[in-house]
């Protein structure tokens, strides 16, 4: 067993699992006095985000005045620096929740700023059964895809997660009035079409009918990162895809995503992805759940405490 070889916990429902991956999805069925009936207690948060949805019973998050309770159809979003402290609510016979741990793509930032928050944890309540079913389905699809073991399972699961985050964004009442500016969407498309080219801010600004400074400002405001960083992230996403799905030499992939200097490309890749392009390609051949990347800091190991 790998667990015995490495001494690491391989079950994400139990304390000690390292979460040193891009995406992990699961369902935690907590039953009163069962083996999972403890409070998750991660004081320093995790390296990535967690989105969770209650599907049965009642959960309790935080304690004292901050305590919040979650019922079927309630979603919670924990950003990396939020404390995790949750478990079955006293009095409820169970708490089943689906969850996804993930390291987001840069252009997702807009969808990850949930306005309704308690102690940094975003909250969203789905108002009707139809929506609850739709979201539950989506969570299950993500979990099944992630666990399917097929070659692109992680990419496909991330793709479905993106859909889930967009749906959460759409269902947040305040966001209905503040859609993304069409000119910024157009700027993103422009960048994606010209990924290997140098960014010519003036040309792009003309293309979307904004002044260069207004475009730069609005882009940062709406996308959460600046134009150069956004394009770099897109380049890395494409490079990862090409490394996984082709046998092209690294120098060729570097040039396809806009880097003539392979050494420089490898440096940027390592900085953003946490592994060199060749290490990443090699790791991608292993099953996705063990495709490890160096931790971005933060202690992801839950120290579970029983509820008194
Ligand atoms: C599991 C918990 C789940 C979530 C994941 C990351 O152990 O049951 O709620 O926190 O860890």
Domain shared by 205 and 269, yes or no: no
Q: Looking at the domain assignment, is residue 10 inside a domain?
A: no
Do 239 and 214 lie in one domain? The reply is no
**pTM for the full model?**
0.64
- Write b or e for each residue in 220-233: b if 16 or more Cβ atoms lie within 10 A of its Cβ, otherwise e: eebbbbebeebbbb
Q: Return the residue whose CA atom lies nearest to atom 7 of ligand 1.
A: 13
User: If you ran DSSP here, which 8-state letter would residue 64 be given?
Assistant: G
Ranges in the chain, pLDDT < 50: 1-4, 287-308
Residues 40 and 150 both lie in one domain: yes
Q: Are 186 and 192 in contact (CB under 8 A)?
A: no
Q: How far is the CA of 280 from the centre of ligand 1 (A)?
A: 26
Q: Can you give the pLDDT at residue 288?
A: 41
- 72 and 49, same domain (yes or no): yes
Mutate to test the pocket of ligand 1, among 22, 28, 29, 75 (most ligand atoms within 8 A of CB): 28
Asked if residue 5 belongs to a domain, the reply is no
**In the prediction, which pLDDT does 7 show?**
64
Task: Take residue 51 and report the two structure tokens written for it.
Answer: 């989105």
Structure tokens at 125: 């309540």
Is residue 150, in this structure, part of any structural domain at all?
yes
pLDDT of the residue at 255? 95
Q: Which pLDDT score is estimated for 284?
A: 74
CATH classification at residue 187: 1.10.10.60
* Contact between 77 and 49 (Cβ < 8 Å): yes
Whether residue 151 is found in the same domain as residue 203:
no
Start-to-end Cα distance in the chain: 35
Tell me the residue range of the domain where 270 lies. 233-299
Residue 163, domain CATH: 2.60.120.280
Per-residue confidence (pLDDT) for residue 264, from 0 to 100? 96
Those residues whose C-beta lies under 8 Å from the C-beta of residue 29, and which sit 6 or more positions away, are 36, 94, 96
What is the reported pLDDT for 215? 95
Query: What angle is formed at CA 269 by the lines to CA 265 and CA 275, rounded to 5 degrees?
Result: 130
- Does 134 fall in a domain? yes
Asked if 43 and 154 sit in the same domain, the reply is: yes
Same domain flag for 237 and 286: yes
- Structural domain contains residue 307: no
The pLDDT score that the predictor gives to residue 301 is 40
Q: Which residue out of 50, 75, 82 has the highest number of ligand 1 atoms within 8 Å of its CB and is therefore the one to mutate?
A: 50
172 and 187 assigned to the same domain:
no
Q: Closest ligand 1 atom to the C-alpha of 24?
A: 6
| Protein residues whose CB sits closer than 6 Å to any atom of ligand 1 | 12-13, 28, 40, 50, 52, 97, 99, 101
**Is residue 6 one of the residues assigned to a domain?**
no
Total domains in the chain come to 3
- Domain boundary, last residue among 161, 176, 191: 176
Residue 287: the pLDDT is 45
Residues 30, 164 within the same domain:
yes
**CA 13 to ligand 1 center in whole angstroms:** 6
Tell me what pLDDT residue 149 has. 85
| Residue of 30, 40, 48, 146 best suited for mutating to test ligand 1, as the one with most atoms within 8 Å of CB | 40
CA of 49 to the centre of ligand 1 (A): 11
Q: For residue 305, give Cα distances in angstroms to 8, 19, 29, 236.
A: 20, 19, 17, 40
Burial of 15 (0-12, 13-18, 19+ CB in 10 A): middle
Answer yes or no: do 110 and 252 share one domain.
no
Q: Which structure tokens are listed for 295?
A: 């931790």
- 204 Cα–ligand 1 center, Å: 43
* Domain presence at residue 3: no
Angle, alpha carbons 45-49-55 (nearest 5°) = 100
Let me know whether 165 and 29 are in one domain.
Answer: yes
Q: 267 C-alpha vs ligand 1 centroid, how far in Å?
A: 33
In a domain, 305, yes or no: no
As a three-state string, the secondary structure of 87-149 is EECCCCCEEEEEEEEECCCHHHHHHHCCCCEECCEEEEECCCHHHHHHHHHHHHHHHHHHHCC
Last residue in a domain, options 110, 142, 176: 176
Same domain? For 65 and 191 the reply is no
Query: How far, in Å, is the centroid of ligand 1 from the Cα of 289?
Result: 15
């Amino acid at each position: 067993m790998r667990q015995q070889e490495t001494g690491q916990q391989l079950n994400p429902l139990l304390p000690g699992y390292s979460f040193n991956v891009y995406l992990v999805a699961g369902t935690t069925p907590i039953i009163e006095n069962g083996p999972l009936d403890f409070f998750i207690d991660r004081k320093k948060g995790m390296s990535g985000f967690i989105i969770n949805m209650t599907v049965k019973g009642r959960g309790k998050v935080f304690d004292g005045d901050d305590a919040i309770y979650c019922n079927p159809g309630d979603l919670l979003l924990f950003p990396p620096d939020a404390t995790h402290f949750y478990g079955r609510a006293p009095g409820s016979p169970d708490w089943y929740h689906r969850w996804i741990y993930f390291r987001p793509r840069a252009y997702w930032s807009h969808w990850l700023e949930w306005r309704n928050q308690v102690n940094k944890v975003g909250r969203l309540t789905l108002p009707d059964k139809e929506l609850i079913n739709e979201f539950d389905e989506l969570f299950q699809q993500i979990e099944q895809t992630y666990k399917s073991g097929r070659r692109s399972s992680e990419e496909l699961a991330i793709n479905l997660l993106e859909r889930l985050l967009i749906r959460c964004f759409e269902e947040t009442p305040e966001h209905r009035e503040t859609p993304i500016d069409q000119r910024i969407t157009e700027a993103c498309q422009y960048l994606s079409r010209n990924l290997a080219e140098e960014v010519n801010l003036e040309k792009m600004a003309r293309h979307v009918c904004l002044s260069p400074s207004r475009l730069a400002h609005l882009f940062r405001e709406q996308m959460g990162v600046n134009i150069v960083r956004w394009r770099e992230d897109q380049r890395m996403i494409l490079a990862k895809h090409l490394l996984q799905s082709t046998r092209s030499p690294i120098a060729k992939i570097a040039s396809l995503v806009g880097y003539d200097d392979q050494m420089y490309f490898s440096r940027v890749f390592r900085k953003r992805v946490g592994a060199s392009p060749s290490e990443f390609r090699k790791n991608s051949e292993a099953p996705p759940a063990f495709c490890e990347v160096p931790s971005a800091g933060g202690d992801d190991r839950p120290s579970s405490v029983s509820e008194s």
